[in-house]
A and B are shown apart, each in its own frame.
Chain A
């Protein structure tokens, strides 16, 4: 399905649009917004890969983001490593975190897994505040170096990373791996009876999701040039989940659109200042009621059908 010409054309058109937008409209403000939306896209896609496919909704994705970001913060400021080391380091730390929290929690039923992950993120946020002497407390870590001096350059880098991760995860999702994950969503016991090591696949998918989310966290840290405990907040996790719902659960590519849409929407609502988060939360409720299958992915499927791709 992914390799159909229509899909490749759509993807190419999207990438081209994203690449050209800042050139046409210019201005650091737009580049900034697009960069943030791209990074959120990375987080949303990684969430969808694990939670969308296996159906185990993770309410603590911010845990991996925060771990990645703080790793970058420490590596760059306390240990003085060059910024580019942050990305692999943050992936490693995120993987460790995923294994540590995944092993005990993945066997829990849906809502309990969700809340256990949420608890994990809350603990990390608390710990960052408790050990304020090492972590900078509420203020966090400041003074990170940018990875690429040019704003536009960093944007293109982030966009490339988003495309690469999305392509990779889409490929895995369409493969036998992806089928196994979806079967796990269907019925775990039957999977085990068929010889599938369910625990391995659940942890592996969480690990993959965490690794790339952590990388995104590191990128974000090197973009904002600072890291704060707010990254671990519930709001971050819920925002990402909203983006996935808007994009279309389990589609992998939908959340990209969901992320961009929501970040742009948030910026447009900047005039409403204090009402932004309220509108966000109300949007979530509306989506849950009226568009449970999302907006982006179903729309794209209709476009595909209209272009005659559904033979």
Chain B
């Protein structure tokens, strides 16, 4: 029982980081970024690459996050922006990017599972339950980052710009808010969040080239359930999904976990397309 509580919380934290980034860029720029999973993968692989180059773990991790953030900004500027006239075109191009990244990772690193070193190797015992230190770290860091992000959005100029554009893009433009620069910044933040999730989860989740697909399916599920463009919604839905998956894994079997998220998405899209907190419906 306590095990489920802790593992569920860890999953939720990772999912929350993924989902918040995904919903941010959607809320601000109406972009459904299917390459979001690629940022997650690149974060993990980046940490792997830099540590194998003998760079110590923390700088390697930060470097990886920085690289992925820049990559995200470049992708937005070069590939996504010209396609923004059509949401479907954006879907296609981001999906193509995800496939290119997958192939690039496969060609560079091969398809075997890679090892991303953990920050904390210790195993802790809480209330009689053995938990890997890396999992707890993921939980702690994830929660902290989201809290910081929330504060950032509430209390900085960029944060206000983000909120303004999410609510009314045209009005924001009339007010002189530089939307293009905000998009770039948000994309960078979104990519950084995903990369961080990849680095934190790397030690205990599989790292291989196709690791982008399930996170994006789940991020999409969470964001649909929580409401597109709503950060509180994403966090709540991430908790729901994280726990739902953990319970299913313990009660039935781990192979059913992926289906939970997909089924949740489909159900939500059918029953309440706006999600729990969403303002913009899916139809």
Complex A–B touching at CB under 8 A: yes
Chain A residues with a Cβ under 8 A of chain B: 57, 59, 104-105, 107-112, 114-116, 118-120, 122-123, 126-127, 129-130, 234-235, 238, 241, 274-275, 277-278, 280-282, 284-285, 288-289, 292
Report B55-91 CB contacts with A as 1/0, cut-off 8 Å: 0000000000000000000000001001100011111
- Assuming the contacts A116-B265, A130-B256, asked whether A281 and B88 have C-beta atoms less than 8 A apart, the reply is no
Contact at A114–B256, with CB atoms within 8 Å? Answer: no
Answer whether A285 and B93 are a contact pair too, CB < 8 Å, given A108-B282, A111-B32: yes
A274 and B106 contacting across the interface, CB-CB below 8 Å? yes
B262 touches A110 (CB 8 A): no
- The answer on a CB contact under 8 Å between A105 and B259 is no
Known: A107-B283, A115-B32, A274-B107. A123 touches B97 (CB 8 A): no
A123 to chain B, nearest CB (A): 5
> Is there contact, CB below 8 Å, between A281 and B87?
no
CA–CA, A306 and B107, complex, Å: 45
Which are the 5 A-B pairs with shortest beta-carbon distances?
Answer: A278-B103, A281-B99, A112-B282, A104-B270, A284-B96
In the complex, whether B153 has a CB less than 8 A from a CB of chain A is: no
Chain A minimum-CB-distance residue to B83:
A288
Contact of A104 among B91, B99, B262, B266 (CB under 8 A): B266
Q: Are A122 and B258 in contact (CB under 8 A)?
A: yes
18 further A-B pairs in the complex, CB-CB below 8 A; given A281-B100, A288-B92: A57-B92, A59-B91, A104-B266, A108-B282, A109-B283, A111-B90, A115-B91, A115-B220, A122-B217, A122-B258, A130-B256, A234-B95, A234-B213, A275-B103, A278-B107, A284-B96, A288-B96, A292-B89
Instruction: Name the prevailing secondary structure of the B interface residues.
Output: helix
Whether B158 is near chain A, meaning CB under 8 Å from some CB there, is no
- Mask, B239-283, CB within 8 Å of A = 1, is 000000000000000011011001101100110010000000011
Chain B nearest CB, measured from A293 CB (Å): 13
Is the pair B269, A110 in contact by a Cβ cutoff of 8 Å?
A: no
In Å, the complex CA distance between A115 and B37 comes to 14
B104 within 8 A of A: yes
Looking at the assembled complex, report how far the CB atom of A268 sits from the nearest CB atom of chain B, in whole angstroms: 18
Question: Is A238 a contact partner of B99 (Cβ separation < 8 A)?
Answer: yes
Tell me the bound Cα distance from A238 to B282 in angstroms: 22
Which residues of B are found within 8 Å of A108, using beta-carbon distances?
Answer: 269, 273, 282-283
Kindly list chain B residues whose C-beta atoms are within 8 Å of the C-beta of A114: 88, 91
Contact for A288 among B32, B87, B93, CB less than 8 A: B93
Chain A: interface secondary structure? helix
Q: Contacting B99 at CB < 8 Å: which of A116, A126, A277, A292? A: A277
Q: Which of chain A's residues have a CB closer than 8 A to the CB of B95? A: 59, 234, 238
B53 to chain A, nearest CB (A): 24
| B266-A111 in contact (CB<8A) | no
Q: Is the CB of A123 within 8 A of B88?
A: no
Interface pairs (20), CB distance under 8 Å: A59-B91, A105-B270, A108-B283, A110-B87, A110-B88, A111-B88, A112-B224, A112-B269, A115-B220, A116-B266, A119-B221, A119-B262, A119-B265, A119-B266, A123-B259, A234-B213, A241-B92, A274-B107, A278-B103, A281-B99
**Which residues between 1 and 47 of chain B lie within 8 Å of chain A, taking CB atoms?**
32
Alpha-carbon gap, A248 to B186, bound state (A) = 34
CB proximity to A under 8 Å, residues B224-245: 224
| A206 smallest CB distance to B (angstroms) | 16
How distant is A84 from chain B, measured CB to nearest CB, in Å?
Answer: 34
Q: How far is the CA of A130 from the CA of B282 in the complex (A)?
A: 30
Report how far A291 CA is from B277 CA in the complex, Å: 39
Residue numbers in B under 8 Å from A289 (CB-CB)? 82
Asked if A285 contacts B79 (CB within 8 A), the reply is yes
Known: A108-B283, A129-B255, A130-B256. A284 touches B269 (CB 8 A): no
Closest to B267 in A: A104
Could you say which of A119, A123, A284 has the most chain B C-beta atoms within 10 Å of its C-beta?
A119
- Nearest Cβ on chain A to B28's Cβ, whole angstroms: 16
- B159 CB to nearest chain A CB (Å): 26
Residues of A near B104 (CB, < 8 A) are 278
Shortest Cβ distance from B38 into chain A, in angstroms?
Answer: 12
Q: How far is the CA of A165 from the CA of B90 in the complex (A)?
A: 31
Residues of A within 8 A of B79 (CB): 285
A127 to B83 CA separation, bound complex (whole angstroms): 35
Q: Assuming the A-B contacts A126-B259, A281-B103, are A112 and B88 also in contact, with contact meaning beta carbons closer than 8 angstroms in the complex?
A: no
Q: Which residues of A contact B32 (CB under 8 A)?
A: 111, 115
Residues on A with C-beta less than 8 A from B89 are: 288, 292
Contact of B269 among A59, A104, A123, A275 (CB under 8 A): A104
- Identify the closest chain B residue to A106 (Cβ): B283
Chain B hits for A107, CB < 8 A: 283
Contact across chains for A127 and B259 when beta carbons are under 8 A apart:
yes
Provide the residues of chain B in CB contact with A123, threshold 8 Å.
Answer: 259, 262-263, 266
Q: How far is the CA of A159 from the CA of B198 in the complex (A)?
A: 47
Contacts of A119 in B (CB 8 A): 217, 220-221, 262, 265-266
